[in-house]
Amino acid sequence: MDYVDQMNASIGMKGMLNIVLVLVLIGVSWWSLQELKLDSLFKRPRSMQAKLLQILLSVALGYQVAQFVIDYLAWSTWFSGIF
């Protein structure tokens, strides 16, 4: 396998890892948001709008946490040049 193929495979694996990480952390944020008592914030807590807001909150929170983890992993690889 030549250099270009190795580079494409590496980029593909990083992309797959990022997608899986984002989806897992969105699920974790959904799970953790279930512990919040959001019923008092909504007029109708079982409505479609309330559920949609929970989904949007979990997507936003999960994406931000995943982006932090992805950035942290990228930054940690930069230390290989120091040592």
**Mean of per-residue pLDDT scores for the chain:** 91
Q: Is the pTM of this model over 0.75?
A: yes
Looking at residue 1, its pLDDT comes to 64
Domains identified in the chain, total number: 1
pLDDT at 60: 98
pLDDT in tens, 46-71: 899 999 999 999 999 999 999 999 99
Within 13 Å and on the Cβ side, how many CA atoms surround 40? 2
d(CA 36, CA 51): 13
C-alpha 42: how far from its chain's center? 26
* Domain housing 43: 3-81
State residue 19's pLDDT score: 96
Give residue 32's pLDDT: 95
